[in-house]
């Protein structure tokens, strides 16, 4: 039997760490899950050295490997450039890919500063290339359900927001320095606070004004794992912030990487005049919806299922559960569709810039100990 050939889209991936592997596997899996206009082909993998790149390309199924990302982003076999390199390299890599007219898929944070992120955004918009940033938690069908419930007035007028991203990976005073503690883009607020800020914007729109309070819990950390030498920490371990949204809604967020006991508490509670919604990524296949009145009011635990697209792409029955890596598959599916249609793929560079701008406003507020305006117009 003849097997029908599908159009293909060539992938060039930079980086093969946690996120690089995650990208590669998502590109490999997506065609079997979604019915896409083009099948991704893993063309070239770039990494710091030829050896690292070749080993990773072999493990992850790429046809070619290179240490020369500049050449790679211009290669004709590459249609989409996926950037999973250290944060400080996002800007030059993305600018080069944009200049080559490629679709650019960049891991979060978009860059180390909002001004750099804005520069990237403007370049992409000027060149009219498709962009996407890896805020994969937004791809969860249950987040889609939450957003739909909020926008459809299911819970009435929104009255409050309480958000958090708390993990424990820096909860030990002996967790060492790394790129995460680099003053250029590091700290709990930038590293994971960006997730709850992107989620807050996704659900409730722009943040107008912020007031933050940051604390460096551990004044110094080992310079490397198991090193006796310690160096001062200049970034935050924990930031709490008050928020006023452009819509008038008030709330707060917490970003905390020293939250002993929490592995992935990207969570929120949104209250409205008619109901409420609660969620935590630690139970990513469940959304809690408060509704009812009289003797039958309460939080309802909605389990992910085919009624919540695109869950059904993964499994025809409810209760089977999606995993973290599946969110990346959804992200990549939307990216490939946007690439094929030359359409929009939210969150794009501009959205990622807005998230970063909000985070920087919180940092600025934490230093000045004053409220800081993020945007003045209602959106």
Q: According to CB under 8 A, which residues from 39 to 98 bind a copy of itself?
A: 50, 53-55, 57-66
- Selection from 101, 89, 106 nearest residue 126 by Cα: 101
Shorter beta-carbon distance to a copy of itself: residue 46 or 352: 46
Q: Does 151 interact with a copy of itself (rule: CB under 8 A)?
A: no
Contact with a copy of itself (CB under 8 A): which of 224, 234, 307, 341?
A: 307
Rank residues 155 and 352 by Cβ distance to a copy of itself and give the closer one. 155
CA dist., res. 337 & res. 352, Å (int): 20
Asked if 33 touches a copy of itself (CB under 8 A), the answer is yes
Rounded (10°) angle between helices 114-127 and 90-99: 10
- Please, which of residues 95-124 interact with a copy of itself by CB under 8 A? none
Among candidates 328, 324, 326, which has minimal Cα distance to 23?
328
When binding is defined by CB under 8 A, the residue of 48, 125, 320, 337 that contacts a copy of itself is 320
Calpha distance 112→123 (Å, rounded): 17
Which CB sits closer to a copy of itself, 132 or 271? 271
Measured distance CA(215)–CA(38) in Å, rounded: 48
Count the alpha carbons within 13 Å of 249 in the hemisphere toward its beta carbon. Answer: 25
Of 22 and 124, which CB lies nearer to a copy of itself in the complex structure?
A: 22
What's the closest the beta carbon of residue 250 comes to a copy of itself, in angstroms?
4
CB 131, min distance to a copy of itself, A = 25
Query: Which residues 338-367 are close enough to bind a copy of itself by CB under 8 A?
Result: none
Q: Taking the CA of residue 131 as centre, how many other CA atoms within 13 Å lie in the half-sphere pointing to its CB?
A: 29
> Rule CB under 8 A: is residue 135 a binding residue for a copy of itself?
no
Please give the residues from 211 up to 250 whose contact with a copy of itself meets the rule CB under 8 A. Answer: 211-213, 215, 217, 237-238, 240-242, 244, 250
- Binding a copy of itself (rule: CB under 8 A), the pick from 9, 31, 93, 114 is 31
- Is 172 in a helix, a strand, or coil? coil
Angle, vertex CA 85, rays to CA 219 and CA 125, nearest 5: 110
Segment lying near a copy of itself (by CB under 8 A), choices 90-98, 115-123, 251-259, 341-349: 251-259
Q: Which of 18, 76, 152, 379 binds a copy of itself (CB under 8 A)?
A: 18
* Contact call for residue 194 and a copy of itself (CB under 8 A): no
Nearer to a copy of itself, 141 or 185 (CB): 141
Q: Please, what is the minimum distance in Å from the beta carbon of residue 12 to a copy of itself? A: 14
- Output the smallest distance, CB 350 to a copy of itself, in A: 27
Q: In the range 168-187, which residues lie near a copy of itself by CB under 8 A?
A: 169, 171-173
Using the minimum distance from each CB to a copy of itself, give the nearer residue, 85 or 188. 188
For residue 300, the tally of other CB atoms under 10 A from its CB is: 12
Is 10 in a helix, a strand, or coil? strand
User: Using the rule CB under 8 A, which residue among 326, 331, 354, 360 binds a copy of itself?
Assistant: 326
Nearest to 9 by CA among 337, 350, 301: 337
Burial 318-352 (b: 16+ CB within 10 A, else e): beebbeeebbbbbbbbbbbbbbbeeeebebbbbbb
Residue pair 124/349 in contact (Cβ under 8 Å)? The answer is yes
- 292 is an interface residue for a copy of itself by CB under 8 A: yes
Query: Of these, 9, 13, 29, 98, which contacts a copy of itself (CB under 8 A)?
Result: 29
CA distances from 234 to 62, 93, 117, 263 (A): 39, 27, 22, 23
Given the complex with a copy of itself, which of 115 and 260 has the nearer CB atom?
260
**Buried (b) or exposed (e) across 143-180, using 16+ Cβ within 10 A?**
bbbbbebbeeebbeebbebebbbbbbebbeeebbbeeb
């Amino acid at each position: 039997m003849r097997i029908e050939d599908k159009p293909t889209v060539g992938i060039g991936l930079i980086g093969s760490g946690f996120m690089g592997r995650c990208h590669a596997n998502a590109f490999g899996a997506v065609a079997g899950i979604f019915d896409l206009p083009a099948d991704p082909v893993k063309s070239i993998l770039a990494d710091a050295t030829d050896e690292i790149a070749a080993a990773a390309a072999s493990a992850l199924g790429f046809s070619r490997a290179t240490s020369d990302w500049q050449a790679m982003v211009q290669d004709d076999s590459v249609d989409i450039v996926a950037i999973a390199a250290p944060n400080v390299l996002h800007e030059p890599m993305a600018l080069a890919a944009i200049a080559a007219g490629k679709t650019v898929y960049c891991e979060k944070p978009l860059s180390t500063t909002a001004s750099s992120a804005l520069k990237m955004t403007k370049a992409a918009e000027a060149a009219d290339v498709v962009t996407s940033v890896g805020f994969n938690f937004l791809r969860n069908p249950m987040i889609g359900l939450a957003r739909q419930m909020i926008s459809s007035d299911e819970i009435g007028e929104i009255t409050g927001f309480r958000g958090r991203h708390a993990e424990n990976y820096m909860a030990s005073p002996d967790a060492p320095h790394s790129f995460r503690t680099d003053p250029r883009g590091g700290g709990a607020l930038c590293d994971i606070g960006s997730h709850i800020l992107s989620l807050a914007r996704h659900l409730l729109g722009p943040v107008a004004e912020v007031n933050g309070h940051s604390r460096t819990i551990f004044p110094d950390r080992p310079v490397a794992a198991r090193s006796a030498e310690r160096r001062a920490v200049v970034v935050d371990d924990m930031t709490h912030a008050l928020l006023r949204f452009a819509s008038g809604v008030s709330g707060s967020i917490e970003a905390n990487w020293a939250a002993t006991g929490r592995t992935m508490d990207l969570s929120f509670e949104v209250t409205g005049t008619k109901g409420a919604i609660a969620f935590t990524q630690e139970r990513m296949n469940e959304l809690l919806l408060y509704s009812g009145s009289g003797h039958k009011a309460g939080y309802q635990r909605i389990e992910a299922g085919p009624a919540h697209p695109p869950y059904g792409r993964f499994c025809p029955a409810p209760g089977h559960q999606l995993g973290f890596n599946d969110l990346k598959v959804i992200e990549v599916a939307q990216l490939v569709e946007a690439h094929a249609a030359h359409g929009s793929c939210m969150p794009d560079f501009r959205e990622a810039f807005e998230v970063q701008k909000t985070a920087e406003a919180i940092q600025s507020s934490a230093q000045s100990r004053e409220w800081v305006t993020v945007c003045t117009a209602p959106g």
